[in-house]
Each structure stands twice: as structure tokens, then as C-alpha cells.
Amino acid sequence: MIVSTHIIMGGKLRSLLISMVALSLGSMSTALAQDADDVPKWTAEDLVFEASPEHTEEFHKYHFFHKEGVSYDQALLDIGECNTFRKGPIGKEGETFHIVPQFVSLSETRSYKPYVYNPNSGGVVGAVIGEIVGAPIVLKAKAQRMRKCMQYKGYDRYGLSKKLWKKIMKVEDADLVKINARIASGPKPKTERLLP
Amino acid sequence: MTRIIAIITLTLCLFAQTASAQIYQRPDDMEYFKQKKAPTALEPDSGYVFVRLAKSANKFMAAPTLIRTLTDEEVNAYEALKRQKFEKAKAKNEKRRAKRIADKAEAKKKRVPYNKPIPPVLTYDRFVIEYEDVSNVYQVWARKEYRKTERGREVFFKLSPGNYVVYDIAGVCMCMGTVQFQVKAGEITDMGMIVADAYDRGGQISEFPEIEAFSKDHGEYRAGFPYAASAIRPATPEMDFPEELLGLKRVNADYRAKGKMPMFFSSMLDRLVPMPGVLSYRLDKIIDERTGETIE
């Protein structure tokens, strides 16, 4: 069902019309095809919701990324790398305090690959990222790192509802990369592109 | 009840103590100078760095954190110890994971809830050990200035000679592109000027053209995000330099591009504003402007 929604912001009716398919979350998860390794193959077309002013205010926290013409394999590498940055300092998951160590293993000649995709890591039970329980400051820093990294890689950002965002982000690490890579390399979202 | 409170307080105190043990301590070889006690000669075995920190109209000023890159010997010694500790921890982690996974499957079969978390797979890259044999992180403090000037502050300090990476500026990791430079013994290495700005201090446009140009596409950040961008301006003869130090040997930092680095600390992520002739970018690829080649 195609619906047009007026977005009301700050009491003002904006002449912004967004055409979107309204789909409830419940029907979405059942309707979608499942991967062999149980990773849902969602695309931007499945991430459609009715945007209310409450949603638009929270787009800085809840969003997804898309790049035109990028292959799924490339998106896997890109999102994998940015996800490593998103997770933050090594060995201190979710740590945002400015605790500076006395020693770090940094060499002049050795090259650092922030992320190497391992195709065998799928299906392994990993830790669910404590995104939802994290303090706001932790979430803000995580979002900043992910956005900056994806911006430099040339990806566009699109808004999401919190509910849908949880769906694509509150998953095991390997799945998170796969799900988001599928979305990023899929059809172009019909909603408006946000500023980086 | 009082006992419980006492136990909680004690635990918190103990935790605070262990936490404070991790807090940064300045490496022994780092020493700040003040204009009042300006050195009249340079030690032949020590390196010296002079850096200007510009103060923006938005009243923002940022100092860098430098990391001395390790020598091959240092890397090998550290890696050997880490590998040894990792093998032990890995075996423990695997055993624990296997047990939890089996328990969970068992619970599922019996249809009883199972809430114990399954520990993530331990990887070598994200494994951290305590290591005190080497100190190579040099956090520069603006408040330890050599002198204050109209444009901001100047910091002058002594450290071990070596190759230094500008890792962090204003608590923002330059993990996605930065520069490195050599500090040689017996001379002052002039880093030039660190220029950084923030938009949440009343200004929407940075007075520094390179910051403004670099962050003009940063969209939502401009609306109240407390950080815009950081740049380094290599030293020029026009830049202020204390008269009393003019007699000492001084060289400009020989900046070279440095490839991506993992996040060791810091909370935000960015990259240094491109430096003409040294550092530029093609999307997220880092280009060494001296050779025109991409750095991995």
C-alpha cells in the first residue's frame, strides 16, 4: 500500500511529501526470505515506515547506509571495517572514557587492516552487542564513529525508526555486517537522503 | 543493611583503584619546559618538540597525543609475550564458550530459560595484555604551556628521539588518516601549528579556512556537534617562535602520511585535514602526496 505522509516538525506542516510503503514489523519478518545461515536478506524496500516528527528527531541515532553501485562483497568489507571502528577502543567494548594507555603496539612499517572479512565467521554464536543497554554517551560516540567512517567511504545515510533499527543492529556481529551490507548494496531507498 | 552498604563502598573503592591504575601516566622521558626556565643548551641524546596550539574565535584549542612507533625489537618482545598469554586465554575462552553453548542447547531441549551470556570468540587483535616495559604514548597538555601568545599557546617538551605519529587531536582519533614525523636527537623539531575548531561554541563558521572547507559537507555535525575538524599547519618563518630559543638548533617536522590505524583509545573518529604535498584522500583511501601512491 502506497501512502503519502506529511511530516510535521515543530508544529509547522512541511510541504515535504514522502511516498512510502507502510509495512508492519511483524509481517515483515515472516514475509522475508531467510538466508541459508539464517541471516535475513532485507533491503531498503523492507525498511519502510511511516515517518513521524519523533522519528526525524532521532535520525542522528537511528539510520542505515546505502551506496549506489556498490557490490555486496565490497559493502561487506566497508561495513566490516566501519563496524570495527564503531565498536571502539580495542579490548574495551563500549568504552568511551578518555583513558589513555602508556603503551600501544604501533609500528611504522607494519600495515593495519582494521577489518578482514572471514567468510567462516557466519553462523558462529557471538555476543549480542549491548547497544540498547548502553549509556547515551556510548551510543552517541558509536554512531559518530560509524557515520564518519561510512561518510568517508562515500555511503549515503537514510533515517530509520528505532524499531527497525533494532531489527538490523541488535544482532550478532557477523550477522550485523551481512544484513547491513545487503541493505547498502541493494535497491536505492525511496526516502530522502540525510546529511552525512 | 549497613554491612551491605559497606561492602558495596569497599568494592567501589577497590574498583576505582584498579581503574585509576590504568589512567595515563606521562612517560619518564617526557619533560615540559616553561619560558621562565628556558633551556640554554640541548642534550645531545634527547629529542625536543615545539608546537603551537591555535585558539579559535569559538574559543576552541586542541592538543595532540603523539605515539612513538615501536622498533622491530620492541614489537617482537611485546608480540612474544602477548602470543604466550593469548594461547592460555584462548584455551580458557574456548572451554567456557563450549560449555555455555552446550548448556544453552540443553536448556532449550528441556524448555527452560537460560540467561547466562555466551562469551564472544577471543581474537588476537582484540586481546589486550598489561604491558609496562615500554611507554610510547605522549599526551600533550595545553595547560603545560611554554608560554601564552595572542594566537593561543605554545608547548615545548623533551622526549626520546624516534618516529612519532599524530594519533589523536582533542580526544578524536585520527585513525582514518594522519601524519608522522621523525624526532632526531639534539635538535628542536618544530611541529608548526595545530588548528582545530568546534561549532557548538556560538560559531557556525570556522575562522580557519582549511577546517571550514574540510567540514563543510559534514551536515548534521554542524548543528551542535562539539567538534569540527583538526589540521596541522607546517612551520613557516612567519610563525611565532620564542626569541630565547633562537640560538638552539631547530628543524621543521618532516611530515609523511600515515595509513589507517586501529582505535587504541579516544572516543570519536576522524582523519586529519589534508596537508598539501603530504597527505590527501580518495574516498577513504589515504594518499601519500610525495609519491602519489595509496598507503595501505
Map grid coordinates 633562537 to a residue.
Answer: B246
For B149-190, the pLDDT digits (tens) are 999 999 999 999 999 999 999 889 999 999 999 999 999 999
Identity of the highest mean pLDDT range in A6-15, A107-116, A118-127, B145-154: B145-154
B72, B117, B175: residue with CB nearest A85:
B175
The predicted pLDDT at position A169 comes to 83
pLDDT averaged over every residue in chain A: 70
Whether the pLDDT of residue A126 is over 50: the answer is: no
Q: For residue B163, what are the contacts with CB-CB under 8 A and spacing of at least 6?
A: A108, B68, B69, B180, B181, B182, B183
> Does residue B21 form part of some domain?
no
> Does residue B184 form part of some domain?
yes
Among B294, B72, B93, B65, CA closest to B175 = B65
Whether the pLDDT of residue A5 is over 80: the answer is: no
Are B231 and B275 in a shared domain? yes
Q: Are B75 and A103 in contact (CB under 8 A)?
A: no
State which residues form the domain around B97.
70-135
Instruction: Measure the N-to-C terminal CA separation of chain A; round to a whole number of Å.
Output: 30
In chain B, the number of structural domains is 2
pLDDT averaged over every residue in chain B: 87
Pairing of strands B172-173, B285-288: unpaired
pLDDT band (50, 70, 90) for residue B219: low
Are B145 and B220 in a shared domain? yes
Burial per residue of B36-46, b for 16 or more beta-carbon CB atoms within 10 angstroms, e otherwise:
eeebeebeeeb
pLDDT band (50, 70, 90) for residue B225: low
> Does residue B257 form part of some domain?
yes
Whether the pLDDT of residue B247 is over 50: the answer is: yes
Q: Write down the pTM of the prediction.
A: 0.80
> Does residue B162 form part of some domain?
yes
Map grid coordinates 516538525 to a residue.
Answer: A9
CA distance A126 to chain B (A): 5
Q: Helices A173-185 and A72-87, interaxial angle, to 10°?
A: 130
Phi, psi (5° rounding) for residue B263?
-80, 110
Q: Residue B70 gets which letter from DSSP? A: B
For B105-124, the pLDDT digits (tens) are 999 999 999 988 888 788 88
The predicted pLDDT at position B176 comes to 94
The predicted pLDDT at position B220 comes to 65
Are B57 and B77 in a shared domain? no
For chain A, helix, strand, coil in percent to 5 are 35, 15, 45
> Does residue B3 form part of some domain?
no
Are B74 and B60 in a shared domain? no
| A149 at interface of B, judged by CB pairs closer than 8 A | yes
> Does residue B239 form part of some domain?
yes
| C-alpha cell, B278 | 603530504
| C-alpha cell, A78 | 566497508
Are B108 and B187 in a shared domain? no
The predicted pLDDT at position A54 comes to 86
Q: Are B64 and B140 in contact (CB under 8 A)?
A: yes
Domain spans of chain A? 2-104+129-194
Which position has the higher pLDDT, A15 or B216?
B216
Are B169 and B239 in a shared domain? yes
Whether the pLDDT of residue A133 is over 50: the answer is: no
How far apart (Å, rounded) are the C-alpha atoms in residues A94 and B205?
32
With CB atoms and an 8 Å threshold, state whether A105 touches B78. Answer: yes
Whether the pLDDT of residue B200 is over 90: the answer is: no
CB < 8 Å from A in window 67-126 of B: 67, 69-70, 72, 75, 78-79, 82, 101, 117-121, 125-126
* Residue B81: strand, helix, or coil: helix
The predicted pLDDT at position A50 comes to 86
Whether the pLDDT of residue B293 is over 90: the answer is: yes
For A11-70, the pLDDT digits (tens) are 333 333 232 333 333 333 333 434 446 788 888 888 888 888 888 888 888 899 999 999
With CB atoms and an 8 Å threshold, state whether B269 touches A144. Answer: yes
Are B177 and B288 in a shared domain? yes
Are B181 and B144 in a shared domain? yes
Are B111 and B183 in a shared domain? no
Are B126 and B231 in a shared domain? no
> Does residue B22 form part of some domain?
no
| B32 at interface of A, judged by CB pairs closer than 8 A | no
Give the amino acid at B228. A
Q: What is the mean pLDDT of residues A119-128?
A: 34
With CB atoms and an 8 Å threshold, state whether A152 touches B176. Answer: yes
Q: Are B196 and B211 in contact (CB under 8 A)?
A: yes
Identity of the highest mean pLDDT range in A53-57, A122-126, B39-43: B39-43
Whether the pLDDT of residue B68 is over 90: the answer is: yes
Which position has the higher pLDDT, B109 or A110?
B109
| C-alpha cell, B147 | 608560554
Kind and range of the H or E run holding B92 = helix B72-110
Q: What is the mean pLDDT of residues A154-172?
A: 88
Calculate what percentage of chain B has a pLDDT beyond 70: 88
> Does residue B16 form part of some domain?
no
- The residue among A65, A103, A147, A155 with the most chain B CBs within 10 A of its CB, best to mutate, is A103
| C-alpha cell, B177 | 588518516
Q: Are B275 and B255 in contact (CB under 8 A)?
A: yes
Residues of A in contact with B75 (CB under 8 A): 105, 107, 110
Q: For residue B241, what are the contacts with CB-CB under 8 A and spacing of at least 6?
A: B50, B190, B250
| C-alpha cell, B60 | 576552541
How far apart (Å, rounded) are the C-alpha atoms in residues A117 and A131?
22
How far apart (Å, rounded) are the C-alpha atoms in residues A29 and B218?
34
Are B157 and B258 in a shared domain? yes
Domain-terminating residue out of B101, B135, B169: B135
The predicted pLDDT at position B265 comes to 82
pLDDT band (50, 70, 90) for residue A94: very low
| A102 at interface of B, judged by CB pairs closer than 8 A | yes
Q: What is the mean pLDDT of residues B216-240?
A: 82
Residues of A in contact with B119 (CB under 8 A): 127
**C-alpha count within 13 angstroms, C-beta hemisphere, residue B189:** 22
With CB atoms and an 8 Å threshold, state whether B263 touches A88. Answer: yes
Q: For residue B1, what are the contacts with CB-CB under 8 A and spacing of at least 6?
A: none
Q: How is the beta sheet containing A63-66 ordered, strand by strand? A: A63-66, A156-159, A193-194
How far apart (Å, rounded) are the C-alpha atoms in residues A181 and B206?
35
Domain-terminating residue out of B135, B151, B166: B135
